[in-house]
Amino acid sequence: MAPTVVLNNGVKCPQIGLGTWLGNPGEIQKSVKHAIDVGYRHIDCAWLYGNEKEIGEGIKDKIEDGTVKREDLFITTKLWNTFHEKDQVAPACKDSLKNLGLTYIDLYLMHWPVAQKNLGTFDKNLPFKDAVNIDVDYIETWQSMEQCVRLGLVKSIGVSNFNSKQLDRLLSCAKIKPVMNQIEVSPNLNQKKLISFCKDLDIAITAYSPLGSPARPWAKPGDPMLSLDDPQLISIGNKYGKTSAQVILRYVLQLGTIPIPKSINPKRIESNFDIFDFELSPEDLTVLDSFNCNGRAVHAEELKDSKYYPFKDVEF
């Protein structure tokens, strides 16, 4: 079993989760079942990913066959940007619950601090494309998420893609403190400052795209993302009998975060979980640190014209 992190409300969260973004609905049910068999107890979902239903079916199968009980699992899902207005939040949460076939969600996250309105077609792989940014304050959205806790729909609430200033502002108004900020963390973007800032506030960090999200639909040649074939990574891995991906995931873990690597491949699901029996030395951590170059896989450029866009006008 993976170690757990105790969140600021006393709830325990397993320190590795299965990412599900771009997990094809045709395959993800099988991947979830395999992950649970391997020992994963934390699954990271989002309404946006369009596969909550199949993930829920995988979970149901594993509960029905006796492998796990519901309370053994930590299921996260996220409120999409187009449901930020106050009357939309609880219905969106209920929609995710229905998709997942669950009676409660362990952790509900605000996916972005930016609210949007859809204009016609919706493509989950390019979700910002046919939407406009609208001026709904994330504080208002947060208040409705607090209501989801009071209604018993969710056990814990948190945010994703929030910068330090946005977290500060949220904390000054929140009645329920966020337990988590889910942000991109990888050797290219090690986020040490934001991680330390959140640690001081007792807000845990989930690390998305830890492997640099090599299959992201908007990838361009020349993006500064670290390759799993990097000779330094391979040589560090050889010292511990681990792959480059395991070295990266261990690094992200040693940064003090909860990595959620996505995979639909059974062998990679297994190896991504197998990172708790070694520890990177200070020298190896220094090599990993040297890859840091503010290299984001997820820029969400379409959100840039919003005053709530998180990646500008702020150091971290």
Please, which of residues 236-265 interact with ligand A2P by CB under 6 A? 245, 261-265
The kind and range of the H/E element at 206 are: strand 204-208
- Is 272 a binder of ligand A2P (CB under 6 A)? yes
| Region binding ligand A2P by CB under 6 A among candidate stretches 84-92, 105-113, 153-161, 213-221 | 213-221
d(CA 261, CA 16): 8
| Catalytic (active site) residue 49 | yes
The kind and range of the H/E element at 144 are: helix 138-150
Task: Give the shortest CB-38-to-ligand A2P separation in angstroms.
Answer: 13
The kind and range of the H/E element at 44 are: strand 42-44
Of residues 167 and 264, the one with the C-beta less far from ligand A2P = 264
**Which residues, including other chains, have CB under 8 Å from residue 64's CB and lie 6 or more apart?**
none
- Is 215 a binder of ligand A2P (CB under 6 A)? yes
Of residues 97 and 211, the one with the C-beta less far from ligand A2P = 211
Please, which of residues 82-121 interact with ligand A2P by CB under 6 A? none
Alpha-carbon distances of 300 from 258, 259, 309, rounded to whole Å: 22, 20, 9
Binding to ligand A2P by CB under 6 A, coded x per residue (else -) over 170-209, reads ---------------------------------------x
Of residues 144 and 271, the one with the C-beta less far from ligand A2P = 271
Task: Point out the annotated binding site for substrate.
Answer: 111
Q: Would you say 7 and 109 are in contact if contact means Cβ atoms under 8 Å apart?
A: no
- Is 15 a binder of ligand A2P (CB under 6 A)? no
Alpha-carbon distances of 21 from 50, 78, 90, 127, rounded to whole Å: 9, 12, 23, 12
**Which one-letter DSSP state was computed for residue 111?**
S
Question: What's the angle, vertex CA 17, arms to CA 248 and CA 181, rounded to 5?
Answer: 85
Task: Point out the annotated binding site.
Answer: 111
Please, which of residues 115-154 interact with ligand A2P by CB under 6 A? none
Binding residues for ligand A2P, rule: CB under 6 A, are 19, 209-215, 228, 245, 261-265, 268, 271-272
Enzyme catalytic residues: 49
